[in-house]
Structure 1
């Protein structure tokens, strides 16, 4: 910018100049600040951060002040720093020569942007989050997640967390895309090895998808569960076609689950209502051979799943849940309960209800939901039949509170005996007036039997 241009711009009142700069791209504003000292003071020297707040909101991004969360301090939100951070992540993603350190830093930024997406509100259920639109646009346009540098980072928790949120939505391929097919086949094999390896389940990680050492969520395991269940459903396009879980970044938004946009104060997690649950499992003989066969244990024998004779089952279960007081929990429910939540707005909730499948055999479900460290919502419940606890389940809400994505986790035999079966599940909420798919089939079966 020439001195003549500067003289013609800077005498203008700073408020007008700031307003004009809000219409520019943040990178252009940064360039303007380098033209002279007055320009730099105007861009970086104002204490109210009005310019950077406007640039942030008009980019556009979601307004962090609209996010009711004890984990975000809005009064300390640094508009300039956060906008710079996001612009840097976009630049890293678009480069062809970014370092691994840079890529992982960008991934952390994308996860932060997902976490700060505004919750769904009543009357605006179909309005998308600008935060999430931006993340998807950057990842799709740059193909960053296909970087060869990230292939060696399969155990990285941040990378796995972002992939879990995306749920293979960026891994679609055309019919003639042989490379894409092989990539998904490799993902599926790796995920099955993770999910069905009995060594990954211990008392120390609550027999669920958690890290043994830290006790935190094992996002590699969560990603694997999502991959296993979603690919099994893809193999069954004509089974339960009208009752599939929502997934992808929009489904991670808080209160995006049906009927939760105006949650009752008591039911902060949106527990009460109707749910669907997909469970997957291997034939017990296959599970035993995979874990204890002569060819090795667990992840050491990934070729086991390449056999044309291998089959994996998937079942749909329906549930109806209601909240209960702690004192009303049935005595038979001896599963460890969550400790009281330290977050006063998110007290630990207890629930019961019924579940049923295609065979018509109903079970009682009893469990609890708690807010754990870092804003992760955990679910723990058991299935009771004939006054006996048969199965226990541990899961994690994906995304915000009461997200449409639902709960991802693992089920195991309650006694956790040697060689007890394990499997993944995906639990998600549906509208209260959603037709009972299994009830309808059961009625058809009963009527057909009566006619015979």
Structure 2
């Protein structure tokens, strides 16, 4: 029996398993298949749901969504970067829509991942594994243009940023793996093409920190619109420093450094099975952002002498429209464990996004490395208090404001944006600075991501598997290398106190 001789409902069921690019050819085969496919929204929905995540909203144009995804794949299969670059607007809108509609599928990509898999994210990971796609869509912001032009021509000037720069930077941030060289691919990796010095020139330039930007990763127009080029620069700086320290291979940092599209969609965070959540509290149940729990934070900074010279040296002050030169003087990196709980929930203010409330929190934090520079960051020794709030911007982005509190007084503040939206597993990226907006600084990049909903079971065995970085306690800053398995066994006794403290912090 021929396919077209089958009952229509069986033909419909069979076509529902056709690969989306092949579905476009079916109407061209014969009249029967033409009528079976054309205008059949139920069939497009069936094909979509067999290959992609079920959207979180019910208002979906199934036919158009499927056509857009097929077109995305066709564009990204083109041979050259130049043949793809003109499609940035379409690629940006399709990728962001695909991530907003992503949902988790149960299995985790690896044991310690704090998000399950997503078919949408898997598709995008496959598409953007190609170097030409990375060059065409992820590496077109101002700092990449500067890097590619600067070491060839020796110039520092740059054109004003445009929508294309912002869209490329946002795609890079959603991709989530810092592209650390101006040209993707091992063929053009050279010392002069490293991106970190150019990203540092944006992150540590105090001219980027103004009242209009709220000293955070926002546009310089007195709104709360996200400046994705600032977020991108923060991601590059932090990712480069974690890689230099050898921390990017550890499970707790892997999602931030190595896994494309790792939880960059709303609701992607899912507690590990080993997590045991404390008794439910009313505020915790009402919190839409999933704040209560344990977070790992990364803070980077320059030595203040270098920071001050970079920003205030009289002989090297470019005009406002000229970027500062790339800077590569070495940075310090601190790992901080935060445990926070919700304290208050209020309706959104007139300047906030109105879909969700403003949620306040408090807690404690403690560095995982006490070998501090006495001059640069002595305030961060020991256990300190933290507090802050989370709200939506008018664009719908999740904005975090945090304060570090010493002796009852707020000292440091940070303004950050959560990549992927509400309850995403990817984490929060932003800027830290003096809470009084000191025009002399210091300031720098920070990020934090959730590792636990609350207390944990499994004791030391869980902590050893998930957070094997106690070596930082005894290593000088910048010289850390991950220990071998034998070295870990030799250091087992010396680590026990650290694990006891960490388990106590997690268990409250």
Range of TM-score over shorter length:
0.7 to 0.9
TM-score (norm: length of structure 2): 0.71
What are the superposed Cα offsets for residues 232-274 of structure 1, whole Å, 9 maximum, x if unpaired?
A: 1111116995643623312324444463899953232221121
1:209 aligns with 2:217: yes
The residue aligned with 1:91 is: 74
CA contact (8 A) 1:338 1:368 kept: no
In 2, distance between residues paired with 1:301 and 1:416?
21
Structure 1 residues 151 and 205: alpha-carbon distance in aligned structure 2, compared to 1, 3 A threshold: closer
CA contact (8 A) 1:323 1:350 kept: yes
Q: How many residues align?
A: 414
The residue aligned with 1:282 is: 302
The more displaced of 119-128 and 277-286 is 119-128
1:160 aligns with 2:172: no
What are the superposed Cα offsets for residues 200-252 of structure 1, whole Å, 9 maximum, x if unpaired?
A: 11111211001122521111111110110111111111699564362331232
Give matches, 1:214-363, under 5 Å: 214-237=223-246, 243-244=252-253, 246-247=255-256, 248-257=260-269, 259=271, 265-293=285-313, 294-297=315-318, 300-305=323-328, 310-325=329-344, 342-343=354-355, 346-357=356-367, 358-359=369-370, 360-363=381-384
Q: Secondary structure at the match of 2:216?
A: coil
1:408 aligns with 2:397: no
In 2, distance between residues paired with 1:172 and 1:295?
26
In 1, distance between residues paired with 2:141 and 2:383?
45
The more displaced of 85-94 and 433-442 is 433-442
The residue aligned with 1:17 is: 11
1:128 aligns with 2:121: no
In 2, distance between residues paired with 1:126 and 1:414?
33
CA contact (8 A) 2:225 2:395 kept: no
TM-score (norm: length of structure 1): 0.79
CA contact (8 A) 1:277 1:426 kept: yes
Q: Secondary structure at the match of 1:205?
A: coil
The residue aligned with 1:62 is: 53
* Aligned residue among 72, 77, 80 for 2:63: 80
Instruction: Give the C-alpha shift of residue 9 in structure 1.
Output: 5.7
Q: Secondary structure at the match of 2:263?
A: helix
Instruction: Give the C-alpha shift of residue 87 in structure 1.
Output: 0.7
In 2, distance between residues paired with 1:243 and 1:126?
12
The residue aligned with 1:31 is: 25
Structure 1 residues 20 and 242: alpha-carbon distance in aligned structure 2, compared to 1, 3 A threshold: closer
Instruction: Give the C-alpha shift of residue 137 in structure 1.
Output: 0.8
Instruction: Give the C-alpha shift of residue 368 in structure 1.
Output: 0.4
In 1, distance between residues paired with 2:224 and 2:236?
22
CA contact (8 A) 2:104 2:115 kept: no
Give matches, 1:164-203, under 5 Å: 164-168=173-177, 177=186, 179-182=188-191, 185=194, 187-203=195-211
The residue aligned with 2:385 is: 364
The residue aligned with 1:373 is: 394
1:106 aligns with 2:91: yes
CA contact (8 A) 2:353 2:395 kept: no
The residue aligned with 1:332 is: none
**What RMSD, in angstroms, separates the aligned Cα atoms of the two structures?**
3.8
Unaligned runs of 5+ in 1: 328-336, 448-452
Instruction: Give the C-alpha shift of residue 99 in structure 1.
Output: 5.1
What are the superposed Cα offsets for residues 379-435 of structure 1, whole Å, 9 maximum, x if unpaired?
A: 101111122211111111111322222111110111112212111001112234375
Instruction: Give the C-alpha shift of residue 361 in structure 1.
Output: 2.9
CA contact (8 A) 1:196 1:422 kept: yes
The residue aligned with 1:40 is: 34
Structure 1 residues 170 and 12: alpha-carbon distance in aligned structure 2, compared to 1, 3 A threshold: farther
The more displaced of 195-204 and 365-374 is 365-374
Q: Secondary structure at the match of 2:218?
A: coil
In 2, distance between residues paired with 1:285 and 1:362?
27
CA contact (8 A) 1:119 1:254 kept: no
Structure 1 residues 419 and 406: alpha-carbon distance in aligned structure 2, compared to 1, 3 A threshold: same
In 1, distance between residues paired with 2:252 and 2:229?
26
CA contact (8 A) 2:115 2:263 kept: no
CA contact (8 A) 1:245 1:428 kept: no
* Aligned residue among 121, 127, 133 for 1:144: 133
Instruction: Give the C-alpha shift of residue 42 in structure 1.
Output: 2.7
Q: Secondary structure at the match of 1:317?
A: strand
Structure 1 residues 265 and 303: alpha-carbon distance in aligned structure 2, compared to 1, 3 A threshold: closer
Unaligned runs of 5+ in 2: 145-160, 371-380, 457-461, 475-492, 498-508
What are the superposed Cα offsets for residues 275-310 of structure 1, whole Å, 9 maximum, x if unpaired?
A: 2211001111211221222223496342442xxxx2
